[in-house]
Amino acid sequence: MKFHVKSLLLMFGLLILLFAISCSKKAQDVPGSQNNLSITGISKSSGAYNANIIITGTGFSTDPAANKVTFNGKPGTVTAATTTSLTATVPKGAGTGKVGLTVGSNTVVGPAFTYVYTATVSTLAGSGRDTVVDGTGVNASFHGMWAIASDSKGNIYAPDPQANVIRKVTPAGVVTTFAGSGQLGYADGKGRAASFGTPQGVVVDSADNVFVTDCYYKSIRKITPDGTVTTLVNKNGTFVLMEAFTIDEHNNMYLADFNTLYKITPGGVVSPLVGVYGPVLGLAVDHNGVVYRSGGTGIFSINMAGGSLRIYAGNEQGTGYADGPAQLAKFYYPSGLVFDKAGNLFVADTDNWLVREITTDGNVITVAGKQPIGYPPIDGPASVATFYAPFGITIDPQGNLYIQDELHEIRKITFE
């Protein structure tokens, strides 16, 4: 009897041991069940679309599909896996952010990865001929442009101050005359029934209304999406030169005019803010409501308390061309300015014939363009593409840049 009990106890103990071993083995075989999941490093801290990045760490699954890797929250593709190493490809448009990994129910975050965009330049519209012709792509022509702006659908609006019309360009490059009779005059109305006098600056609000500075008549005109033109601010003698024009996230507009910066509400109330002296070639407003101006040797933020300027990028020592830390960089009469959603500032560096970027971490890089310039301008990869005095600049909801150059063309920069 004692032997029988001992045998039963021994058998029961063996069963418990076998069960524990089995559970342990199953836990090892189930992806993500480990508690030691970690990322200890990545082979490259930056890279472009489709680059292979080796992630090292512990607790990975040997099944590539069981490892969910993200770059700044965007899923990458794992092509090879061991318990301590993963090979993952960078997704398109990843942006800059942390590398993440999920195996089963466990998630860990690793080092930051900087996405390197590959830029390509193309001609959206414009033949280079100095005339007004509606059409598609290079079959269309512009007589002259000063500024451009984009709406929420990616349409581009370009006032033609010499032809006294407002042109509209679709994302497919179809160019039409959106408003204006083509004759110097002042008349509200719809489409071609309206008249303008040297329309120059342009912005678009969140409802896709277009606002244009009518420089000859010193007024601000409003154009609804259906092409109906009305007067927002009339000819009251307030404005003189109407140099640069921009809009903020709350649809307030800002106008640099003859040494004064004005604010214009969506209802048309005009208020002088501060003095801004010297030529102002471009204006932009960041997410915090800070206004920036371009011109001369760089880009400056405007102190609303008294109008003093702080160097944001460039320096006061002279013009030139140099990338690097923002206040050591050099510009050559920069003009158009536009912020992207992340807060990076893009600059049409006119007399350097380049498109530059001031990143949120305070560095200036060249996005596209090449020196010395050639004629005619060249489309293609950013490293070989050329511009001819880029001036106006805007950005669409997808993050594509559009540049108006002095050859009566609208160029497009796409990023991958």
Q: What is the pLDDT of residue 9?
A: 44
Q: CA-to-CA distance for 88 and 116, rounded, in angstroms?
A: 16
The pLDDT, as a whole number, for residue 307 is 76
* 18 membership: H or E segment, kind and range: helix 2-29
CA neighbours closer than 13 Å in the CB half-sphere of residue 146: 24
% residues pLDDT > 90 (the chain) = 78
Q: What pLDDT sits at residue 29? A: 41
Q: Chain-wide mean pLDDT for the chain?
A: 90
pLDDT for 21: 44
pLDDT at 342: 87
The predicted model gives 116-122 an average pLDDT of 92
pLDDT at 125 over 80: yes
For residue 13, give the 3-state DSSP assignment.
Answer: helix
What residue ranges of the chain are covered by domains with CATH 2.60.40.10? 38-115
d(CA 60, CA 68) in angstroms, rounded, equals 10
Asked if 301 and 295 count as a contact pair (C-beta separation under 8 A), the reply is no
Tokens 């927002």 identify what position? 232
pLDDT in tens, 330-348: 999 999 999 999 899 999 9
Distance CA 163, CA 60 (A): 65
pLDDT at position 237 is 80
Question: In this predicted structure, what is the pLDDT of residue 339?
Answer: 97
Phi, psi of 366 (to 5 degrees): -95, 120
Check whether 219 has a pLDDT greater than 90.
yes
In this prediction, residues 114-143 reach a mean pLDDT of 94
Selected residue with higher pLDDT from 416 and 184: 184
Using a 10 angstrom Cβ sphere, with 0-12 exposed, 13-18 middle and 19 or more buried, the burial of residue 266 is: middle
Q: List beta partners, residue 109.
A: 100
The pTM of the full predicted model, rounded to 2 decimals, is 0.81
* Region 38-115: CATH code: 2.60.40.10
Q: What is the mean pLDDT of residues 157-162?
A: 96
The predicted-structure confidence for 16-52, as pLDDT tens digits, reads as follows 444 444 444 444 444 444 569 999 999 999 999 999 9
Q: Is the pLDDT score of 376 beyond 70?
A: yes
Region 79-98: what's the mean pLDDT? 93
Query: What's the Cα-to-Cα distance from 326 to each of 83, 215, 247, 330, rounded to whole Å?
Result: 43, 34, 24, 8
Report the pLDDT value the prediction gives residue 352, as an integer from 0 to 100. Answer: 95
Say yes or no to pLDDT of 299 above 90.
yes
Residue 279's pLDDT band (boundaries 50, 70, 90)? confident
Residue range(s) in the chain whose domain bears CATH number 2.120.10.30: 119-415
Handedness of CA 203, 206, 210, 215 (dihedral sign): negative
pLDDT confidence of residue 95: 82
CATH placement of domain 119-415: 2.120.10.30
Higher pLDDT, 146 or 24: 146
219-223 and 189-190 beta bridge pairing: unpaired
**Does residue 354 have a pLDDT over 90?**
yes
How many CB atoms neighbour CB 18 within 10 A? 10
Task: Give the mean model confidence (pLDDT) for residues 107-126.
Answer: 94
Highest average pLDDT, of 33-37, 128-132, 250-254, comes from 250-254
Please name the amino acid found at residue 190: K
